[in-house]
Chain A
């Protein structure tokens, strides 16, 4: 009974476009990070453009400054966490045995932190707030 209740709530939550937008935004950030970092490069101009586009779109969909701020935090947390999990998967699954796995965790924590701060975070924040302003005013 309670399972069905939770299932219904999850489905309704997904149907709410704001939550869907934050989920998609987070997955897109994770994918962008994975694409760059697994090739050995940090986010560049094109990635900043894509992040700006994603921020604008997500902000416009959410259409509320306060919610966008929370959405931004959630999407960033989701994106970086997903990218980190993807990166340390070989250590989690035992492909890299101890003590090498600790190096993998530390390495990817540092790389992802350096990749995300400060420009991508600032760009995502500003563009999402602009998007939210546009959404609030015109949509």
Chain B
């Protein structure tokens, strides 16, 4: 009825709800003597909900205050219906932060004395139904590890465009592996001596959320030393104040 008759139907529906509330609270003649029977609902003909033109005429006959109450009821139902969608999405916000997955899907390098000449591709996936997360930036620190030595290679900032993290549509980010300082040269020498390098990444995923006006969210991940695709582990959630709001840190 509501869908087919539009706003008129909604008003009739609201009227019937109000009528029901009023009717339930109105005792029958026999009940006014002191006996209340709540097992029976009475619907006097005057307040029985009617559809179509009948309901329209009844609405016009109602006192202005009752009509205004109906308007308030309809407005509240409409606003609540819209808010319910946002509220239900919000309830998945924290699980989405917690379950956000980062993995290395490909990694290769061909080191020379000047550069590592490689690249790494990260896949970032939001497995929850929450919509509203986006990746603003990604800051990666990485090291090249050998069985008896770890060589820091500096950090890489993604600096690309904003990537929305929608449900089950992974975002792939490819970063160039160059290395810093004497790192590539050291790696090249060790490889020439027969050592096998592995790459270890620490990732800081900088997010854009609906709380950006008050809070900044960064999720750090630790990826194990690898030369093959591997899943990274979430270390915690770093919360920073963005002007005026509270600040703090969360974690597992």
Chain A residues contacting B237 (CB-CB under 8 Å) are 100
CB distance from B213 to the nearest CB of A (A): 7
Contact with B along A89-125 (1 / 0, CB 8 A): 1100001110110111011001100100000000000
Once bound together, how far apart are the Cα atoms of A114 and B215, in whole Å? 14
- A24 interface residue per 8 A CB criterion: yes
In this assembly, does B68 line the interface, its C-beta being within 8 Å of a C-beta of chain A?
A: yes
Query: Is B147 part of the binding interface, using a Cβ–Cβ cutoff of 8 Å?
Result: no
Contacting pair A38 B90 (CB below 8 A): yes
Contact A107 B69 (CB under 8 A): no
Chain A residues closer than 8 Å to B83, beta-carbon distance: 30-32, 34-35, 38
B77-102 interface (Cβ within 8 A of A): 79-80, 82-84, 86-87, 89-91, 93-95
Minimum CB–CB distance from A103 to chain B (whole Å) comes to 4
CB–CB B246/A61 < 8 A = no
Q: Which residue of A lies closest to B86 (CB)?
A: A38
B214 on interface, CB distance cutoff 8 Å:
yes
Q: Across the interface, which residues of B come within 8 angstroms of A90, CB to CB?
A: 91, 93-94
Contacting pair B91 A20 (CB below 8 A): no
Please tell me if A57 contacts chain B, counting CB pairs below 8 Å: yes
Give CA–CA (A14, B132) in the complex, Å. Answer: 39
Pick the interface stretch among B17-25, B111-119, B162-170: B17-25
B65 adjacent to chain A (CB < 8 Å): yes
Q: State the total of A-B contacts with C-beta under 8 angstroms.
A: 131
What's the dominant secondary structure at chain A's contact region?
helix
A86 within 8 A of B: yes
How distant is the Cα of A24 from the Cα of B64 in the complex, in angstroms? 17
- CB–CB A53/B75 < 8 A: yes
Q: Using Cβ atoms and an 8 Å threshold, which residues of chain B touch A30? A: 83
Task: Produce 1/0 per residue, B213-252, CB < 8 A to A.
Answer: 1110000000000000000000001010000111011111
CB-CB under 8 A from B248, the residues of chain A are: 99-100, 102-103, 106
Given contacts A38-B210, A39-B210, A139-B64, 9 further A-B contacts (CB under 8 A): A4-B36, A32-B83, A34-B86, A34-B90, A35-B82, A60-B65, A96-B250, A103-B249, A107-B246
- Show the binding face of B for A, using Cβ within 8 Å: 18, 21-22, 24-26, 36, 38, 64-66, 68-69, 71-73, 75-76, 79-80, 82-84, 86-87, 89-91, 93-95, 132, 209-215, 237, 239, 244-246, 248-252
Please give me the 7 A-B residue pairs with the lowest Cβ-Cβ distance, nearest first. Answer: A40-B210, A100-B250, A15-B25, A31-B83, A103-B248, A38-B86, A38-B90
